[in-house]
C-alpha cells in the first residue's frame, strides 16, 4: 500500500548508509519514509547507538524498514582515535561500500523505479515532490545531482558554506549496469554521464552542523569545521517548508549574523527572549531618564509595543531614538552606564554630517549609534538630528559602502504619547501609526518575521543635511 499521494504508479525506494549517525537518524529516517515505499538502512562501521536506533525503526515499521550490513571490517582502534581516522577509513572503501547498496537492491527481487539515496546527515525539503514528478517525466534523464543547503544550530538558520553536488536520486531500473566508483573524496556512478543528469540546488538539506555534538564529531573524525566568521541567515519558517527560490532570495540579502554571534547566544540578530530584552529596556531607559536624555521607542521595539503591547519575541535587540542635542549627556554618562552592569559600550561616529550625493558629502562625521549590552541584549540608541531647515529629524544609517538616513518630520518628536509596558510608560513618536508606516509600510500592523530591508522603507533617503 502506497503511503504517498504522488507517483503512485511507480515504486520509490530509499537507502542510506548509517555508521555514526546516532540521534541524527531521527531526522533522516522519517524524512526518507515520507517519500519512499520502503527504506534500506545499510550499516557500516556502526556503533551501538546507531544500531539501536535502526532496529527501533524497524520494529516500528516492520514492512518499510530493512537493515543490512556491508560486511567490511570496522575501524581499527588507531582509526577511531586518530584525527580524521574514520574519514580516511571510509574514503578508499566508499566505492565498494556504496556498491553493497546497489547489489542489495538488484538482488532483493523487487522493482525499484526510483532510488532516493541521501547520506545519513541529509534530508529533503517539501519541494522534493515536484522535483521527482518533473524528473520522472524526463525520458532522457536518469539521475539528479543535488547541491545541498546547510543548516546551523537549528532548522531555521542556514549558512552558505556547503558541499559540492552529489548524485542522490536515480532511475534505478533504467541503470542495470550502474557501478559505484570512488573519485577523490566523492563517488561516481558509471555509466552515468553529465548528459544523463539534471542538477538541483537547495532541496537537499545538509544537517552536519545541526547540533554541537555532530559538529564536534565531524571536526574530530571527518573534516575541519567551518570558521566562526562564516555568515548565517535566519529563515521565516523551517527550512523543509522553504522553496529553493525563497532560499536563494534569502542568501542574496545581507547576513543576519555569523557563527560566533550565534554561539554566543543573544548577540547580533540572534533572538534572545522577551524577558532579557524587557529587563535591558527598563534598566537602560531608567539610566537615560537619570541622565536627562530625551528618547523614544524606535523601529522593532516601537512596533512590538504599539502593535502587540509587548516586545517581539524573535527580535534581537532594543531600539531607541534619542535627540541629537543630547549626545553630550550620553557621552558624559558612559561610566554610569557601565557601572550599572552594561558592557561593550560603543560609540559609532562614522556617517557624514551631510550628504548631497554619493560623491558630495561632509568630511565631518556624526554619531550614528550608541550601543551597550546587558542580559545578552544589545541596546541601540540612534540620535535623531535636526535638519538644516528644522523640518526633519534625521537618523543616520549605513556603513562605508552605503550611507543614507531615515528622515521623519521633526514634529513627530515634539509631542508626547506614552505607551505602558510592564509598569513603565515609554514615549513613542507621534503619531505612532505614521512613524511605523514610514518604516514598515501600510501593513505594519500585520506581523511578519525578519527585518524590513532599508531600500523598501518609505522613510529612507539617500540625501540629507543635519544641523
- Give the tens place of pLDDT for each residue, 185-226: 668 899 999 999 999 999 999 998 887 777 778 778 877 666
Mean pLDDT, all residues of the chain: 90
pLDDT for position 441: 93
CATH of the domain at 429: 3.30.460
Residue 2 lies in a domain: no
- Whether residues 256 and 279 share a domain: the answer is no
- Whether residues 232 and 281 share a domain: the answer is no
Question: 87 and 139 in contact (C-beta within 8 Å)?
Answer: no
Question: 11 and 115 in contact (C-beta within 8 Å)?
Answer: no
Q: How far apart, in whole angstroms, are the C-alpha atoms of residue 129 and residue 284?
A: 51
How many domains, in total, are found in the chain?
2
Cβ contacts of 269 within 8 Å, gap of 6 or more: 234, 256, 257, 261, 316, 317
CATH of the domain at 96: 3.90.550
Residue 196 lies in a domain: yes
Q: How far apart, in whole angstroms, are the C-alpha atoms of residue 277 and residue 248?
A: 31
- Whether residues 98 and 228 share a domain: the answer is yes
Among 264, 282, 308, which residue terminates a domain?
264
Residue 97 lies in a domain: yes
pTM (predicted TM-score):
0.60
Query: For residue 155, what is its C-alpha cell?
Result: 532548522
- Whether residues 197 and 249 share a domain: the answer is yes
Residue 5 lies in a domain: no
pLDDT in tens, the chain (467 residues): 577 899 999 999 999 999 988 888 999 999 999 999 999 999 999 999 999 999 999 999 999 999 999 999 999 999 998 888 888 888 888 899 999 999 999 999 999 999 999 999 999 999 999 999 999 999 999 999 999 999 998 898 998 766 778 899 999 999 999 999 877 666 889 999 999 999 999 999 999 888 777 777 877 887 766 677 788 888 888 999 999 999 999 888 878 777 776 776 544 444 556 778 899 999 999 999 999 999 999 999 999 999 999 988 767 689 999 999 999 999 999 999 999 999 999 999 999 999 999 899 999 999 999 999 988 788 999 999 999 999 999 999 987 668 999 999 999 999 889 999 999 999 999 999 999 999 999 999 987 756 788 888 999 999 999 99
- Whether residues 154 and 300 share a domain: the answer is no
Among 242, 264, 286, which residue terminates a domain?
264
Question: 60 and 39 in contact (C-beta within 8 Å)?
Answer: no
Residue 31 has, within 13 A of its CA and on its CB side, a CA count of 26
- Whether residues 181 and 305 share a domain: the answer is no
What range defines the domain where residue 410 resides? 274-465
pLDDT for position 187: 81
Question: 150 and 159 in contact (C-beta within 8 Å)?
Answer: yes
- Whether residues 248 and 290 share a domain: the answer is no
pLDDT for position 87: 87
Amino acid at each position: 500500500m502506497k503511503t504517498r499521494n504522488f507517483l503512485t504508479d511507480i515504486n520509490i525506494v530509499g537507502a542510506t548508509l548509517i555508521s555514526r549517525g546516532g540521534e541524527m537518524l531521527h531526522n533522516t529516517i522519517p524524512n526518507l519514509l515520507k517519500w519512499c515505499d520502503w527504506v534500506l538502512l545499510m550499516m557500516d562501521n556502526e556503533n551501538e547507538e546507531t544500531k539501536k536506533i535502526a532496529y527501533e525503526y524497524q520494529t516500528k515499521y516492520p514492512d518499510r524498514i530493512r537493515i543490512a550490513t556491508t560486511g567490511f571490517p570496522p575501524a581499527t582502534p588507531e582509526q577511531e582515535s586518530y584525527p580524521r581516522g574514520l574519514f580516511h577509513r571510509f574514503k578508499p572503501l566508499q566505492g565498494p561500500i556504496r556498491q553493497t547498496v546497489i547489489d542489495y537492491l538488484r538482488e532483493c527481487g523487487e522493482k525499484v523505479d526510483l532510488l532516493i539515496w541521501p547520506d545519513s546527515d541529509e534530508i529533503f525539503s517539501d519541494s522534493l515532490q515536484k522535483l521527482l514528478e518533473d524528473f520522472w517525466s524526463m525520458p532522457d534523464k536518469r539521475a539528479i545531482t543535488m547541491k545541498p543547503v546547510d543548516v546551523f544550530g537549528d532548522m531555521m538558520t542556514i549558512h552558505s558554506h556547503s558541499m559540492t553536488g552529489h548524485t542522490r536520486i536515480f532511475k534505478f531500473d533504467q541503470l542495470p549496469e550502474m557501478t559505484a566508483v570512488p573519485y577523490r573524496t566523492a563517488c561516481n556512478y558509471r555509466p552515468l554521464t553529465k548528459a544523463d543528469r539534471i542538477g538541483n540546488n537547495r532541496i537537499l538539506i545538509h544537517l552536519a552542523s545541526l547540533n554541537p555534538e555532530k559538529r564536534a564529531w565531524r571536526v574530530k573524525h571527518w573534516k575541519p569545521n567551518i570558521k566562526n566568521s562564516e555568515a548565517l541567515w535566519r529563515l521565516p519558517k523551517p527550512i523543509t517548508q522553504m522553496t529553493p527560490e525563497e532560499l536563494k532570495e534569502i542568501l542574496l540579502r545581507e547576513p543576519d549574523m555569523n557563527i560566533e554571534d550565534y554561539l554566543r547566544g543573544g548577540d547580533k540578530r540572534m533572538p534572545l527572549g522577551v524577558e532579557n530584552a524587557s529587563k535591558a529596556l527598563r534598566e537602560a531607559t531608567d539610566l537615560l531618564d537619570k541622565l536627562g536624555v530625551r528618547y523614544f521607542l524606535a523601529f522593532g521595539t516601537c512596533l512590538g509595543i504599539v502593535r502587540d503591547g509587548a516586545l517581539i519575541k524573535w527580535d534581537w535587540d532594543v531600539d531607541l531614538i534619542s535627540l541629537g542635542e543630547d549626545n553630550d549627556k550620553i557621552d558624559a554618562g558612559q561610566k554610569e552606564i557601565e557601572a550599572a552592569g552594561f558592557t561593550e559600550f560603543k560609540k559609532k561616529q562614522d556617517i557624514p554630517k551631510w550628504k548631497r550625493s554619493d560623491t558630495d558629502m561632509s568630511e565631518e562625521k556624526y554619531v550614528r549609534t550608541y550601543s551597550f549590552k546587558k542580559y545578552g541584549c544589545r541596546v541601540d540608541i540612534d540620535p535623531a538630528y535636526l535638519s538644516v531647515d528644522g523640518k526633519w529629524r534625521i537618523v543616520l544609517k549605513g556603513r562605508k559602502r552605503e550611507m543614507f538616513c531615515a528622515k521623519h518630520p521633526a514634529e513627530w518628536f515634539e509631542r508626547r504619547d506614552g505607551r505602558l509596558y510592564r509598569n513603565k510608560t515609554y514615549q513613542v513618536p507621534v503619531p505612532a501609526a505614521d512613524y511605523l508606516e514610514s518604516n514598515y509600510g501600510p501593513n505594519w500592523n500585520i506581523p511578519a518575521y525578519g527585518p524590513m530591508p532599508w531600500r523598501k522603507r518609505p522613510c529612507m533617503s539617500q540625501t540629507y543635511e543635519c544641523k
